[in-house]
Structure 1
Amino acid sequence: MTFEQIAQKLGRDEIWVAALFYGQASPLDDAKPTKEEVQKLGSVLDMSSLDDHFHEHWYPDRGQLGPMPPQDPTLYRLYEIVGVYGYAIKSCIHEKFGDGIMSAINFSAKVEKIQKKGADTVRITYEGKWLPYDFHTE
Structure 2
Amino acid sequence: MTTTKKEAADAVLAAKVRLGLTWAKIAETVSRPLAWTTAALLGQHPVPKDVAEQVGDLLELPADAVAALQLQPTRGALDSPVPTDPTIYRFYEVLQVYGPTIKELIHEKFGDGIMSAINFRMDVERVPDPAGDRVVVTLDGKFLPYQW
**RMSD in angstroms over aligned alpha carbons?**
1.7
Matches within 5 A, 1:36-55: 36-49=50-63, 50-55=65-70
Matches within 5 A, 1:1-138: 1-25=21-45, 32-49=46-63, 50-55=65-70, 58-63=71-76, 65-135=78-148
SS at match of 1:119: coil
Cα pair 2:41 2:69 within 8 Å, conserved? no
One-letter amino acid of the structure 2 residue matched with residue 90 of structure 1: K
Task: Tell me the TM-score normalized by structure 2.
Answer: 0.77
In terms of fraction of residues, the more strand-rich structure is 1
What is the number of equivalent residue pairs in this alignment?
Answer: 127
Cα pair 1:39 1:48 within 8 Å, conserved? no
Task: Tell me the TM-score normalized by structure 1.
Answer: 0.83
| Distance in 2 (alpha carbons) for counterparts of 1:110 and 1:128 | 12
| Distance in 2 (alpha carbons) for counterparts of 1:54 and 1:88 | 37
In terms of fraction of residues, the more helix-rich structure is 2
Distance 1:8 1:84, change over 3 A: same
Offset at residue 10 of structure 1 (A): 0.9
For structure 1, which runs of at least 5 residues remain unmatched after alignment?
Answer: 26-31
